[in-house]
Amino acid sequence: MKSVFLLFCLIFLLGGARIDGAAFVWPTPSTAFAEGRPFTDWVQATASGIPESGLFGCVRNGGRRFHEGIDIAPVLPRRRGEATDPVFAFADGRVAYINASPGNSGYGRYVVLEHPQMQPAVYSLYSHLARIDDSLTEGAVVVAGDTLGIMGRSAGGYTIPRERAHLHFEIGLRLSDSFQEWFDRQGFGSANHHGLWNGMNLVGLDPLDFLTQARDGRVSGVGEYFSGLPAGVVLRVSTDSIPDLLMRYPFLLQGSVPAEGLAGWEVVLTGWGLPLRLIPLRAEDFGEATVPGSITIAAVDPEELGAYACRQIVTLQGEQATLGRGGVRILQLIFNFS
């Protein structure tokens, strides 16, 4: 059930902060972010105790493991040692997916919303829930501040201690409509329980950076935020197919797709692999004959790639740049390559 008082506090503190013309809220009852307090006042660290381990980026295992979102600690009184904080939809949207079986995912119980009013129409993800609100159904429309569930510590394959219950919160893009085909080709030896909303098919942006810029009036929408993100790598992919990624996120298309003669794409990614732009290419743009499916590295930003080296989008050794396994996976999903 929605707490009207808590939501009033969050909305009041955020004032006129909006994303693509609509108000947003912090997804938990904590008011620290809205008050402009440091992240250490709301973040949930891992067992390391390092506050940054609950943020976005290569912040886990001494920088060797990537964390796709932010972890938000509870603030309300606990009941028998368990967190009781409600979890709110951060913006208006539609319920895209509900996973009520905690053992099937490292996310535990989780809910995914899509936000069609935003351009691009990003998803938001809320995981490790103790309970999902009984009224929530896939396809339902929600508004900013609607209760999605109760914060918790559910997770598949490991146990989150009571004292580290939290909300894992993500915002990002879904890479492929052909995810199941890609998944089946990998030979993982396990089932995909989550369809298109499997975490391997999702790539996030930094929620704290994005919401901070929106709160402070530095960006007015998702598209403006994307436009300000630095490129980590520019890749050239030889293929005459049009990625379904562009059907969901037409904002990413730069230029127009030729009616005839499409030979490939220039793909601009952040250092951690978030697609920023896809630019259609003709054969003459490549400068030489290419084999369909070939991938070349056109440009790199060593500083950006170095900051997210754990993602292995591109590996750098001196002046030699090589596509890493993280970069291969993203391109496989975008273009449905084997």
DSSP state of 21: T
Domain limits for position 180: 4-215
In whole numbers, what is the pLDDT of the chain averaged over residues?
Answer: 94
Single out the residue in 168, 189, 215 at which a domain terminates: 215
Q: Angle between the 179-186 and 325-335 helix axes, to the nearest 10 degrees?
A: 130
Measured CA to CA, the distance from residue 276 to residue 231 in angstroms comes to 8
Percent of the chain at pLDDT > 70 equals 96
Write out pLDDT tens, residues 172-211. Answer: 999 999 999 999 999 998 999 999 999 999 999 999 999 9
| Structural domain total, the chain | 2
Q: Are residues 162 and 242 in the same domain?
A: no
Q: State whether residue 66 is helix, strand or coil.
A: strand
Q: Angle 237-243-249 (CA atoms, 0-180°, nearest 5)?
A: 120
- Taking the CA atoms of 194, 204, 68 and 76 in sequence, report the sign of the dihedral they define: negative
pLDDT given for residue 302 in this prediction: 96
| Residue 144 or residue 15, greater confidence | 144
Measured CA to CA, the distance from residue 102 to residue 158 in angstroms comes to 11
Q: Are residues 283 and 199 in the same domain?
A: no
pLDDT given for residue 9 in this prediction: 65
Q: Are residues 265 and 177 in the same domain?
A: no
Q: Is the pLDDT of residue 290 over 90?
A: no
Question: Going by C-beta distance under 8 Å and a sequence separation of 6 or more, which residues neighbour residue 24?
Answer: 14, 17, 18, 90, 91, 144, 211, 214
CB 117 within 8 A of CB 65: no
Q: Is the pLDDT of residue 85 over 70?
A: yes
Measured CA to CA, the distance from residue 112 to residue 160 in angstroms comes to 21
Write out pLDDT tens, residues 6-36. Answer: 666 666 677 678 999 999 999 999 999 999 9
Percent of the chain at pLDDT > 90 equals 87
Residue 144 has, within 13 A of its CA and on its CB side, a CA count of 18
DSSP H or E segment with residue 181: helix 179-186
Q: Is the pLDDT of residue 276 over 70?
A: yes
Measured CA to CA, the distance from residue 253 to residue 246 in angstroms comes to 7
Q: Are residues 141 and 274 in the same domain?
A: no
DSSP H or E segment with residue 238: strand 233-238
Q: Is residue 322 part of a domain?
A: yes
Lowest mean pLDDT segment, chosen from 6-10, 111-115, 139-143, 269-273: 6-10
pLDDT given for residue 1 in this prediction: 43
How does residue 263 score in pLDDT terms, banded at 50, 70 and 90? very high
pLDDT given for residue 6 in this prediction: 66
Measured CA to CA, the distance from residue 115 to residue 22 in angstroms comes to 11
Residue reference for tokens 């001494």? 62
CB 222 within 8 A of CB 119: yes
Q: Are residues 197 and 249 in the same domain?
A: no
Q: Is residue 314 part of a domain?
A: yes
Q: Is residue 225 part of a domain?
A: no
CA 70 vs CA 208, 217, 265, 322: distances in Å: 7, 21, 32, 29
Measured CA to CA, the distance from residue 316 to residue 38 in angstroms comes to 34
Q: Is the pLDDT of residue 126 over 60?
A: yes
